[in-house]
Amino acid sequence: MAQVKEFHLPDDLYYDRKEHIWARPEDEGVRAGLDAFGVCAAGTVAYVKLSPVGRQVQKGRAFGSMEAGKYVGPLKAPVSGTIAAVNQEVLANPGLLNVDHYEQGWLVVISPGNLGGDIADLVHGPDVQPWLEAEVVEYEQKGMLKKEEERQCK
């Protein structure tokens, strides 16, 4: 488990550096969701829209979108493939993303087309901790994150 301040990122997951989407290869495909840092940046999630099962997605292209407070943004696929499952619970209750983003708040399962190639540039294992440390330092230095005591995403 990588941890910097209140941000917990399990190091058995793979992370998209820019989008803060996590990916977990499983038997049925690659499960994906938003990581703790991404959730904190977005705020309270009000609505999630996800592409349907069977839809082809490209790595780096949107497989859905979300609306959080006064923000709308795409959710970008960490790997290419076909949507194999969509989390209906998170569609019905988008707040799951805020409270349990690694388990109940997963978004989709993607049946990958080129898993080995696609996950090569995702952050994983021992690389997660230094990457997260650098992210937090960078965003705090640039004033992109509130001071720790003012943050509300613990």
Partner 1 sequence: MQVRLLDLGAVSYLESQTIYHAVAHAMDDATPNTIALVSPDRPYVCIGYHQELDKEIDLEYCRSRDLPVLRREVGGGAVYLDGEQLFVQFIFHHENLPRKVEEMYKVLIGPLVETYRTFGIHAHHRPLNDILVGDRKIGGTGIAVIGEAIVVVGSLMFDFDSDAMAHALRVSSEKMRDKIHQSLRDYMTTMKRELGRRPPRQRVKSILIEKLRDALEVELEPGSLSYKERKTVEAVNRRFLSPRWLRRQGGLPRRHVLIRGGVRVAEAEHKAPGGLIRVTARLSEDGIEDLTLSGDFTFHPQHLLEELEVALRNRRLDEYDLTGAIDAFYGAHGVQSPGVSPKNLAAAVLRLRDDPSS
Which residues form the interface with partner 1 (CB under 8 A)? 18, 40-43, 46-47, 49, 65, 67-74, 95, 139, 142-146
Torsion angle, alpha carbons of 131, 84, 107, 72, to 10:
90
Nearer residue to partner 1 within complex by CB, 11 or 67: 67
Least distance in angstroms from the C-beta of 102 to partner 1 = 20
The SS3 call for residue 79 is coil
Q: If we measure between CA atoms, which residue out of 91, 99, 89 comes closest to residue 47?
A: 91
Long-range contacts of 72-75 (CB under 8 A, 24+ apart): 73/42, 75/19, 75/21, 75/34, 75/48, 75/50, 75/107
Can you tell me whether residue 94 is helix, strand or coil?
Answer: coil
Nearest Cα to Cα of residue 128 among 9, 35, 31, 7: 9
Q: How far is the CB of 45 from partner 1 (least distance, A)?
A: 10
Least separation in angstroms between residue 140's CB and partner 1 is 10
